[in-house]
Amino acid sequence: MSFLQDYVYYIGAFGLVLIGLFIILSRRNLIKVIIGLSILDTGINLFLISVGYISKGTAPIFSKPGLVAEDMVDPVPQALVLTSIVIGVAVLALALALAMRLHKLHGTLDLRKIGELKW
């Protein structure tokens, strides 16, 4: 049980990553692929958070008495995730914008049919 407790976030993150990858690799619809990317990103963000997370940990505020360093959650991953979320959103927005454009130009979002550039 403690295994699950210790690793649940990792398992979740891993699961999300796998789901994301699976979607990217298997779906043909661009929107779905973008969703897959987003899920992948989420999974990675979760992974990053869980790297620094301590179960029942506290905020890393040294000025508050009673909080010991060993129980503190590492703040760095959270800062990283913040950045990564921003980046992820930017990519997502861009991807969606491009998807719209693509649909306008190609009339489809099926990636298999959008293969004029090859070889």
Partner 1 sequence: MVSPVLLIVIPLGLAFCVPLIGMVSKRFARFVPVVACLFNLVVSVQLLPAVLSKPIVVDLGGFGAPFSINLFVGPVGILFSLLIALAGFVVSLYALAYIDKGPTTRYHTLYLLLLVGATGVVLTGDVFNLFVFFEILCISSYVLVAYRGDKDGVESAVKYLIQGALGSALLLTGIGLLYGLFGTLNMAHIAVQAGSADPIPLFVAMALIVVGLGVEAAIFPLNAWLPDAHSSAPSSISAILSGIAIEVGLYAVVRMVFTVFGASSMLSFLMFLGVLTLLVGELCAFAQSNIKRMLAYSSIGQIGLIIFAIAIATSGSITGGFFQLVSHTLSKALLFLAAGYMIYRSGSMDISSLEGMGKRMPLTAFAFAVGAFSLVGLPPFAGFPSKLLIIRGALADGGALLALLVGLVLLGTVIEGAYFFRVIQTVFFKKGDGETARCEAPAIALVSMFVLVALIIVIGVYPSLIIGVLNSAASELLVRADYIGRVLG
Partner 2 sequence: MSLELLMVVALGGSLLTYVLGRVSSRLRNGFAVLVSLALVAMVASLYGKALHVSYYEDFLGMSLVLRVSGLSWLFAMTASTLGCLSVVFSLSYMKGKERTSFYYSMLLLVNAAMLGVVLSGDLLSLFIFWEIMSWSTFLLISYNGGPALAAGMKYFVMSFVGSLAMLAGLLTVYGSFGTLEFGGVAAGMLSASPGYILAIFVLFGVAFGTKNAIWPFHAWLPPAHSEAPSPFSAILSGILIKMGVYGFLLIIFVLVGLRNFMALGADGLPLHTVLSIVGAITILFPTFMAIMQNDAKKLLAWSTVAQAGYIILGISFGTSLSVAGGVFHFVNHAVFKALLFMVVGTVEYRTKGVRDLDSLGGLIKKMPLTFAVALIGVCGLIGVPLTNGFVSKWLIYKTLILERSPFLALVALFGTWGTILYSYKFLHNIFLGQLPEKYKDLERAPMTMRLPMTVLSIVVVLFGVLPGIPLSVINSIDTSFGLKPLNVTLWGLASDTGALNTINILAAVFAGLLIVWLVLKSGGRKVSVDQADNYAAGAAIPKDKYQYSVGFYAPLTRMVAPYLKDFMDSFYMRLAGWVGGLGSGIRRIYTGYVGDYAMYIVLFLAALIFVQLTWSPW
The 8 Å CB, 24+ separation contacts for 81-84 are: 81/45, 81/48, 81/49, 84/41, 84/44, 84/45, 84/48
**Distance between CA 32 and CA 48 in Å, rounded?**
24
Contact 64/114 with Cβ under 8 angstroms? no
Q: Kindly list the distances between the CA atom of residue 35 and the CA atoms of 40, 89, 109, 114, in Å, as whole numbers in the listed order.
A: 8, 12, 13, 18
Q: For residue 114, state whether it binds partner 1 (rule: CB under 8 A).
A: yes
Contact segment (CB under 8 A) with partner 2 among 19-27, 71-79, 88-96, 101-109 equals: 19-27
Strand, helix or coil at 29? strand
15, 22, 90, 110: which one contacts partner 1 (CB under 8 A)? 90
Binding marks (x or -) toward partner 2, 28..47, rule CB under 8 A?
x----x--------------
Catalog residues that contact partner 2 under the rule CB under 8 A: 21, 24-28, 33, 111-112, 114-119
Catalog residues that contact partner 1 under the rule CB under 8 A: 17, 20, 24, 30, 33, 37, 40-41, 44, 47-48, 51-52, 74, 76-77, 80, 83-84, 87, 90-91, 94-95, 98-99, 101-102, 105-106, 114, 116-117, 119
